[in-house]
């Protein structure tokens, strides 16, 4: 298959680029086109079309946004490293490091399963933000890639269509909106809506057709009225009208719990002016002619959104009392509203556009990472990410008139923590516009908030149900952990005693103080608190006092010869999903450049490698004695009585096993359910521990815990 025999050609793309960037490197674009076509030769899409038609379509979408050469070339090559014989080195040699890095970045984004379980989703969201922080164009290519895939989704199997559509609705559409690419967000949402709820979408379209038959072309009539009003006022502006997208209307119907016939603002109008002053003149003319709807006015020119969006929004009662939404902005503001951060790389007449309203994408992503870099809690991280991506903002004021931006639905608690953590901790009440209000009150645009504080006040657990921002919730949780310090110290003492007993040592105050000094902690209480809250492991504490403990296991099977069947210089890691331990049947899966990941033979994760037999290795554990350093997780339900957890730790210690971590899954008035990570020698050792725990009267249930959702190639804790 040659380029000449296809329905698409490099000249078509180059001609499109030439219209906005006559200085483009046409030879390099043509070379990328030829290379991509060659690499994908013989590959076909679900539709039966040549596969290379997809990269060309992605590049065309980006060219329509007037993007630079490097982004377009990346689009043409974005699947070559993943799906063809091309490698990073080959792409770098032919097209340079910049493009090779961009293609590699898109490949890594493609491999992220963003819609998987929450723990993995949080980890992959972090990777996503790390990737796009290096170069935002990676995300622009990925969004265009998803858009074309959604446009052609009908050729996929129904179950795959549904999965892709949900992922698009939950992640890619909101991300496009957060990047300021509103046109793309709306199209992605509508394409996903077509798959997820075709009946709902069709019903809205049918009602639109019926409404138009009954009322005529309302959009054309209102547009003409607005143009006449602006001409009368001597204002030069362009007026555009349209019916809102089916998904947008459906979302309003769901939110307001009303039917289509009762929905008022289903039409939207956009007015583009020459300058900012004219925006406010247009607003005056519109409000003089039509009655403004109360509480439906937003001025994003004086208070821009964090993604750079600027516009005036107002809703008025138009013909026959029907409400219409009007957006007023300059042409430069409109460019940013349509293309978002893509405006940062766009060209016009061969010159990179200098749009004063475009947000620097580097600053945007840096501010995003700033909120997340210190957050190790998966729930808190996802909470913060989704708030940043999905929530609109409200603008409120301090008593001094300073502006505070918060997510929609924020409360005075969020406001207090946005000012300062100290203010949040001491909050006892709030006034909104001078009136005392409950702390759960939702703040509205333009309101003035005054936080009332008191000495001695501390955060309450109920605040977690009131706060909505990641910053407030993280600060509250941290403060509550401090309140639980005594409980963590008590738990840490039991963990330390069990670990020291395991090697026939005593966890004396002197020994613990010595460990704290070695680990550069303030005192033994701080050491025990960190141990009880799982910030330290008992093994770390033990080795801080007795570094020669490892010498006691010199005659045991070392890690370097624990697994038999590996090739020369091959390293192994235990899979986190099944935590294989000596004595169990195992198999290895090879990873290029990452060694071998060892799984238990019955691990559910192995099914994904059924069609890759060349990656399987037949392995088995060394028959000798192994040291107790292989962690396994036990899930246990125990009675919530005094001393029960201490007895559990004692039982595990009596079996010569070390507890490396404790995680509470559920706390009820009568029972606790938790995960205990224990370091064991082999399968028999683990069986002895579980049997000893099962015999305890206060243990309701105990079993080994395995988590198929954990990354199969994650490294072990050693």
Q: Mean of the pLDDT values across residues 359-380?
A: 54
Residues 6+ apart with CB under 8 A from 526: 516
Catalytic position from the list 38, 41, 83, 450: 83
Nearest to 142 by CA among 115, 111, 116, 120: 111
Does the structure show a pLDDT above 50 at 550?
no
The pLDDT confidence band at residue 303, using thresholds 50, 70 and 90, is confident
The pLDDT confidence band at residue 371, using thresholds 50, 70 and 90, is low
Residues 6+ apart with CB under 8 A from 287: 314, 316
The pLDDT confidence band at residue 321, using thresholds 50, 70 and 90, is low
Secondary structure (3-state) at 625? coil
Catalytic position from the list 25, 38, 82, 377: 82
% of the chain beyond a pLDDT of 70: 82
**What pLDDT does 125 receive?**
64
DSSP H or E run through 193: helix 182-196
Residue with tokens 């070559």: 80
**What pLDDT does 666 receive?**
82
pLDDT in tens, 80-96: 888 888 888 999 999 99
**What pLDDT does 636 receive?**
93
Segment of 55-59, 65-69, 655-659 carrying the highest mean pLDDT: 55-59
**What pLDDT does 373 receive?**
52
Segment of 271-285, 298-312, 504-518, 541-555 carrying the highest mean pLDDT: 271-285
For this structure, is 167 an active site residue?
A: no
DSSP string covering 109-170? HHT--TTS-HHHHHHHHHHHHHHHHH-THHHHHHHHHHHHHHHTGGGS-HHHHHHHHHHIII
pLDDT in tens, 628-637: 888 999 999 9
Domain 199-352 has CATH 3.30.460.10: yes
pLDDT in tens, 566-585: 877 778 889 988 999 999 99
% of the chain beyond a pLDDT of 90: 22
The pLDDT confidence band at residue 479, using thresholds 50, 70 and 90, is confident
CATH superfamily of 391-483: Beta-grasp domain (3.10.20.30)
CA distance 501 to 237: 82
Q: Is the dihedral of CA 12, 6, 146, 89 positive or negative?
A: negative
CA distance 404 to 420: 12
**What pLDDT does 446 receive?**
73
CA distance 225 to 221: 6
Secondary structure (3-state) at 350? coil
Segment of 140-149, 198-207, 315-324, 553-562 carrying the highest mean pLDDT: 140-149
Residue 551 or residue 488, greater confidence: 488
Q: Are 671 and 637 in contact (CB under 8 A)?
A: yes
The pLDDT confidence band at residue 319, using thresholds 50, 70 and 90, is low
Does the structure show a pLDDT above 50 at 401?
yes
Q: Mean of the pLDDT values across residues 315-321?
A: 72
Angle at 591 between CA 589 and CA 595, to 5 degrees: 90
Q: Mean of the pLDDT values across residues 448-470?
A: 86
Q: Are 688 and 655 in contact (CB under 8 A)?
A: yes
CA distance 263 to 244: 12
DSSP string covering 217-243? -HHHHHHHHHHHHHHHTT--EEEEEEE
The answer to which of 8-12, 285-289, 525-529, 690-694 has the lowest mean pLDDT is: 8-12
The pLDDT confidence band at residue 260, using thresholds 50, 70 and 90, is low
For this structure, is 433 an active site residue?
A: no
The pLDDT confidence band at residue 1, using thresholds 50, 70 and 90, is very low
CA distance 386 to 171: 9
The answer to which of 240-254, 273-287, 432-446, 487-501 has the lowest mean pLDDT is: 240-254
DSSP H or E run through 335: helix 331-339
CA distance 447 to 440: 15
Does the structure show a pLDDT above 70 at 485?
yes
Domain locations in the chain as residue ranges:
3-196, 199-352, 391-483, 485-504+517-536+628-705
Residue 580 CB coordination number (10 Å): 26
The answer to which of 50-54, 168-172, 253-257 has the lowest mean pLDDT is: 253-257
**What pLDDT does 551 receive?**
45
CATH number of 3-196: 1.10.3210.10
Residue 277 or residue 262, greater confidence: 277
Does the structure show a pLDDT above 70 at 386?
no
Does the structure show a pLDDT above 50 at 51?
yes
Residue 464 or residue 371, greater confidence: 464
Burial tier of 196 (Cβ tally within 10 Å: 0-12, 13-18, 19+): middle
Map 438-506 to HEC letters.
CCCCCCCCCCEEEEEECCCCCCCCCHHHHCCCHHHHHHHHHHHHHHCHHHHHHHHHHHHHHHHHHCCCC
**What pLDDT does 123 receive?**
58
Average pLDDT score, the chain: 81
Does the structure show a pLDDT above 70 at 130?
no
The pLDDT confidence band at residue 117, using thresholds 50, 70 and 90, is very low
For 485-504+517-536+628-705, CATH number out of 3.40.250.10, 3.40.50.300, 3.30.70.260, 1.10.10.10 equals 3.30.70.260
**What pLDDT does 155 receive?**
86
**What pLDDT does 360 receive?**
57
Q: What is the pTM of this model?
A: 0.54
pLDDT in tens, 162-203: 888 888 887 788 878 777 788 888 899 999 999 988 888 888
Does the structure show a pLDDT above 80 at 614?
yes
CA distance 10 to 4: 9
Does the structure show a pLDDT above 90 at 611?
no
The pLDDT confidence band at residue 560, using thresholds 50, 70 and 90, is confident
Q: Mean of the pLDDT values across residues 391-409?
A: 76
Length of the chain: 718
**What pLDDT does 217 receive?**
74
């Amino acid at each position: 298959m040659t380029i000449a025999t296809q329905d698409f050609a490099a000249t078509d793309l180059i001609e499109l680029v030439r219209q906005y960037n006559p200085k483009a490197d046409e030879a390099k674009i043509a070379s990328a086109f030829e290379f991509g076509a060659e690499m994908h030769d013989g590959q076909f899409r679900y539709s039966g079309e040549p596969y290379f038609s997809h990269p060309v379509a992605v590049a065309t979408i980006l060219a329509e946004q007037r993007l630079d050469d490097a982004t377009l070339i990346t689009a043409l090559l974005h699947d070559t490293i993943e799906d063809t014989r091309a490698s990073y080195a080959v792409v770098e040699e032919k097209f340079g490091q910049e493009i090779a890095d961009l293609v590699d970045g898109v490949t890594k984004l493609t491999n992220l399963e963003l819609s998987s379980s929450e723990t993995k989703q949080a980890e992959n969201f972090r990777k996503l933000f790390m990737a796009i922080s290096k170069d935002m164009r990676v995300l622009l290519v990925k969004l265009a890639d998803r858009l074309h895939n959604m446009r052609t989704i009908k050729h996929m199997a129904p179950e795959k269509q549904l999965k892709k559509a949900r992922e698009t609705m939950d992640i890619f559409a909101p991300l496009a909106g957060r990047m300021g690419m509103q046109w793309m967000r709306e199209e992605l949402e509508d394409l996903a809506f077509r798959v997820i709820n075709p009946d709902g979408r069709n019903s809205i379209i049918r009602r639109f057709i019926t409404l138009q038959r009954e009322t005529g072309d309302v959009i054309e009539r209102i547009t003409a009225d607005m143009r006449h009003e602006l001409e009368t006022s001597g204002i030069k502006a362009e007026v555009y009208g349209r019916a809102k997208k089916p998904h947008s209307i459906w979302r309003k119907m769901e939110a307001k719990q009303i039917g289509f016939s009762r929905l008022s603002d289903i039409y939207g109008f956009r007015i583009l002016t020459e300058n900012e002053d004219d925006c406010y003149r247009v607003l005056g003319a519109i409000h003089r002619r039509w009655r403004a709807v109360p509480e439906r006015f937003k001025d994003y020119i004086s208070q821009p959104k964090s993604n750079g969006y600027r516009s005036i929004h107002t809703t008025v009662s138009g013909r026959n009392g029907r409400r219409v939404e009007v957006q007023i902005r300059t042409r430069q503001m409109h460019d940013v509203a349509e293309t978002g951060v893509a405006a940062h790389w766009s060209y016009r007449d061969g010159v990179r556009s200098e749009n004063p309203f475009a947000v620097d994408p580097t600053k945007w992503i840096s501010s995003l990472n700033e909120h997340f870099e210190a957050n190790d809690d998966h729930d808190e991280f996802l909470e913060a990410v989704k708030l940043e991506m999905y929530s609109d903002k409200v603008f409120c004021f301090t008593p001094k008139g300073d502006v505070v931006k918060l997510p929609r639905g924020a409360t005075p608690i969020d406001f207090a923590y946005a000012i300062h953590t100290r203010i949040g901790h001491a909050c006892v009440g709030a006034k909104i516009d001078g009136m005392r209000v409950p702390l759960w009150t939702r703040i509205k645009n333009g309101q003035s908030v005054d936080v009332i504080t008191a000495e001695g006040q501390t955060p309450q657990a109920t605040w977690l149900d009131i706060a909505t921002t990641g910053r407030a919730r993280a600060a509250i949780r941290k403060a509550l952990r401090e309140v639980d310090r005594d409980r963590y110290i008590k738990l840490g003492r039991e963990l330390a005693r069990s670990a020291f007993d395991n090697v026939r040592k005593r966890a004396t105050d002197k020994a613990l103080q010595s460990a704290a000094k070695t680990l550069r902690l303030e005192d033994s209480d701080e050491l025990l608190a960190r141990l009880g809250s799982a910030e330290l492991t008992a093994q770390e504490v033990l080795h801080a006092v007795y570094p020669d403990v490892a010498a006691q296991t010199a005659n045991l099977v070392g890690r370097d010869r624990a697994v038999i069947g590996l090739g020369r210089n091959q390293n192994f890691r235990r899979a986190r999903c099944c935590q294989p331990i000596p004595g169990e049947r195992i198999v290895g899966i090879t990873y290029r450049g990452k060694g071998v990941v060892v799984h238990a033979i019955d691990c559910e994760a192995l099914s994904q490698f059924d069609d890759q037999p060349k990656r399987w290795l037949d392995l088995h554990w060394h028959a000798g004695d192994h040291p107790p350093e292989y962690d396994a997780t036990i899930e246990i339900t125990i009675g919530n009585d005094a001393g029960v957890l201490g007895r559990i730790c004692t039982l595990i210690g009596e079996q010569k096993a070390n507890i490396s971590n404790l995680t509470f899954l559920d706390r009820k008035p009568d029972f606790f359910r938790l995960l205990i990570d224990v370091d064991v020698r082999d399968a028999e050792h683990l069986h002895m521990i579980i049997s000893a725990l099962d015999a305890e009267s206060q243990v309701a249930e105990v079993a080994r815990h395995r988590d198929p959702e954990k990354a199969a190639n994650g490294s072990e804790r050693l």
